[in-house]
Structure 1
């Protein structure tokens, strides 16, 4: 009873704390989004007019993304449900990388809606009780930690092969298996879902997504946070919820922790229940407020489109003029800092990156060659080529996982702490390249087989060799892009942080000028130029 009362009290406290904080955060974030929405829409129209093609051409063909409802995995799994009991659930993973938990395979077959849907965004998969307990203890801000006995497991696992899904600000999920092969397959698909849930939305080139990313970047930078953010994962609403929770956490600790009673396992359980309830409340309110903000910006861009198109040249010329002026002001201190504090370390950083990344792509290449060679020898008529290598990609990913430890040394010098983003981004590229290669092989094989139906063996061998050559070219292109983006992600925040004090006067002067212009000229053209200029200044 005490636990229930305590939980209810803290949930109410969370609600009262969160409403003011959530509204304040959204209100403070909104000007950044409105400005970046204007800039991103202008860039979108500019690319459309100039017929720019996003991305670099690759030789391998890419298959259209599967429909969100397509099933990637399904199996019966022992799951720890909301009633704190272990029950067998039928888990279905779809192409939107969510996990559906059904009461049974029969209910799934009948089309009954899932009893629970799990989004593993930002999650960490652990298969050791000891490692999971360590991670949970770090996440629980225990005021009496030094006086307590060692932690006991939060959940008693009924089998030999557990899987723990640790989720930031949300309740963790627990699974259990009897066979290692089944657990390995589930862990692989779960990691696959986390990678895509983390990055797929934010990798979109849609101008609204790009506007949101820029807005978050400048909003955090305004608060003195220049570094890459490890909670920049998921959809726009999830990212904002993470931001609010990060700001809210100190208040919750101060207000709630001293009032938690009972033994440590019970206090931990209540704390994480409170976190989960608070996150849900924050997310729900943000969803409504953010959608309203986006609709407002959509309406604004509709009214701006005609004028932007007619004044495109003038906007570009003004933007270029301001950019040139700003570059001239900051180039000298920037070059000085880069030559002294960045350039000497670029080679060593690149070496740290190149080893694991190149090893990962080489492992994918060897796997592809091995699987295609096997297919050429005993390909069954009507077989499913798309399954090539899918179950063995986890071994390739392990080569890249070591970056999480190797890049830790950059924490002190560049304050870089988001190695997980580099790892997941690289693994997504490895997976995409494998899928492209398999799809290209299938196209080449089917096309050639129509012309030479009696020469299946030679057709497959030629298709294999051609795909491997194309893979080598695309692999080189992708790796160069990974290295470039990682170097910028690691070093640019340090450069900005160093330049911020010396550029303060410059920024103040430009902001005053821009505000003056905005008061004089209220037309759309001026607003586009001003929004672009503010982005350049920051």
Structure 2
């Protein structure tokens, strides 16, 4: 995969990027292989012992949407990067959260390939030119900026009044425009939903392979002295590992290539963003191949071990318990000392700051559900039209996917960004937005379960007399609200526990690093740039 004719990366730079990527995969491989074996062993043990999730909930879990379910489709104005012009495009977003753009609606309906396909993992949505310029400038360390007068020209000239900017760290940014503020609001809220899911859905996977990857990544970064959260754990495993490579590549690309860029500031910015995308695509291609080969090696190894693990499970469990006890005895005293000095004094204040916004978010979800059901019931009392009731019930089922209505609930959690600012210095926890987005995903999941449970409990009462149906709607609503309150309390406790561990654990890990650090060899590529 060499440099193309229009490439800004010559063969020497491509070779360096390949070498850097290959080194990262080689260095990551031992961590992944080790955690793969551990996760596989735990997976087999859970099968043998038939372990079950002990988490209890009252609301029924809504089944996942069918693959290919359309969440959004509309004709809008999009900046076409290939021809550097604004074009009317038919944009479709399905429940894989990719933003697909087609020439027109007819092209989409006949199954034509999309003109562009964007996975906005790790992205940020902005709706004003000033906000976008501030963010894009922050990620364009221009060496000529101090010698150049402020460029008054907009980065992209807007054809309509209401823009939506999609910023991504290593990909060209996407630009959309609307005539109406309501359309802008709907699309920007939807994009934010897509980003939240793409950032966190992979981390929610329960497969042992996903657990092995995330644990291996944690140990891999700890080996380099990086503890705690990492903002670039977004997307799937290929994107995450590619982000890690790009993070290491970025300083070299900035030093060697930015000073060589000519032209006005906006031209240099475009060239820089294009260069990053080109490098990122090159890295992703190689990471995909390398990770695929690594997985096949691990699968072959564990396939040969499965019989041994099953036959020796008792001995393995006893050995594991014995080793766990030895490790606990070794680290107990320094852990207790570190917690008493550096964690315990701050837990109450952190929890207090967490509780307000998180509880407000779940209260807002509850209020929205209750309001929508009350409006449904009032409408039916007026019309007594069963067909219309069914239509309103279908709308209620789609409430968790209504990005605009749900955003009013999600914003209740946003103050965490301000309230937990001091964590950046005290606990070196700069990525509060990860806690915010994870909480918002829990909120959406709970709303899904609430409307699904309401529909399931109400269904047997839909064929009776109108007066009895209205009574049933009220009774079912109150029952669902009680179940919601229980599940909401359970989930909030989980959020608080996860957040407290995520915020404070790195401090303890760093304190123990000198005595518990494993030995590992590293591959370092040559630097020909």
TM-score, length basis structure 2: 0.92
In structure 1, the residue matched to 2:29 is 30
- The CA deviation at 1:450 is 5.6
- The CA deviation at 1:381 is 3.2
Rounded Cα–Cα distance in structure 2 between residues aligned with 1:359 and 1:93: 29
Secondary structure of 2:347's partner? Answer: helix
- The CA deviation at 1:14 is 3.8
In structure 2, the residue matched to 1:368 is 369
Of stretches 149-158 and 250-259 in structure 1, the one that deviates more from structure 2 is 149-158
Rounded Cα–Cα distance in structure 2 between residues aligned with 1:116 and 1:234: 18
Match status 1:386 vs 2:408: no
1:449–1:455 contact (8 Å) kept in structure 2: no
Match status 1:265 vs 2:266: yes
In structure 2, the residue matched to 1:64 is 63
In structure 2, the residue matched to 1:496 is 509
Secondary structure of 1:101's partner? Answer: strand
1:503-529 CA deviation, whole Å, 9 max, x = no partner? 45xx67xx9xxxxxxxxxxxxxxxxxx
In structure 2, the residue matched to 1:521 is none
1:395-446 CA deviation, whole Å, 9 max, x = no partner? 1111111212222210101000111111110000111111110010000000
Structure 1, unmatched stretches of 5+, are: 512-538
1:122–1:198 contact (8 Å) kept in structure 2: yes
Residues 501 and 78 of structure 1, relative CA distance in 2, 3 Å threshold: same
Match status 1:460 vs 2:459: no
2:78–2:89 contact (8 Å) kept in structure 1: yes
Alignment of 1:341-380 (within 5 A): 341-379=342-380, 380=388
Rounded Cα–Cα distance in structure 1 between residues aligned with 2:257 and 2:53: 49
Rounded Cα–Cα distance in structure 1 between residues aligned with 2:171 and 2:399: 35
- The CA deviation at 1:56 is 1.2
Residues 368 and 49 of structure 1, relative CA distance in 2, 3 Å threshold: same
- The CA deviation at 1:134 is 0.6
Structure 2, unmatched stretches of 5+, are: 381-387, 521-529
Picking from 381, 391, 411, the partner of 1:398 is 411
Rounded Cα–Cα distance in structure 1 between residues aligned with 2:466 and 2:314: 56
1:244-267 CA deviation, whole Å, 9 max, x = no partner? 000111111121112111221111
Residues 11 and 279 of structure 1, relative CA distance in 2, 3 Å threshold: farther
Secondary structure of 1:8's partner? Answer: coil
- The CA deviation at 1:51 is 1.8
Residues 458 and 290 of structure 1, relative CA distance in 2, 3 Å threshold: same
Q: Number of matched residues?
A: 503
- The CA deviation at 1:13 is 4.7
Residues 191 and 13 of structure 1, relative CA distance in 2, 3 Å threshold: farther
Of stretches 402-411 and 79-88 in structure 1, the one that deviates more from structure 2 is 402-411
Picking from 438, 448, 462, the partner of 2:451 is 438
2:342–2:507 contact (8 Å) kept in structure 1: no
Task: Report 1 or 2 for greater relative contact order, CA contacts < 8 Å, sequence distance ≥ 6.
Answer: 2
In structure 1, the residue matched to 2:49 is 50
In structure 2, the residue matched to 1:296 is 297
Rounded Cα–Cα distance in structure 1 between residues aligned with 2:446 and 2:10: 46
- The CA deviation at 1:73 is 0.8
Match status 1:238 vs 2:249: no
In structure 2, the residue matched to 1:477 is 490
1:90-149 CA deviation, whole Å, 9 max, x = no partner? 111101111111111121122222221110010000011111101111101111222222
Secondary structure of 2:204's partner? Answer: coil
2:338–2:508 contact (8 Å) kept in structure 1: yes
In structure 1, the residue matched to 2:383 is none
In structure 1, the residue matched to 2:144 is 144
In structure 1, the residue matched to 2:129 is 129
Rounded Cα–Cα distance in structure 2 between residues aligned with 1:92 and 1:299: 40
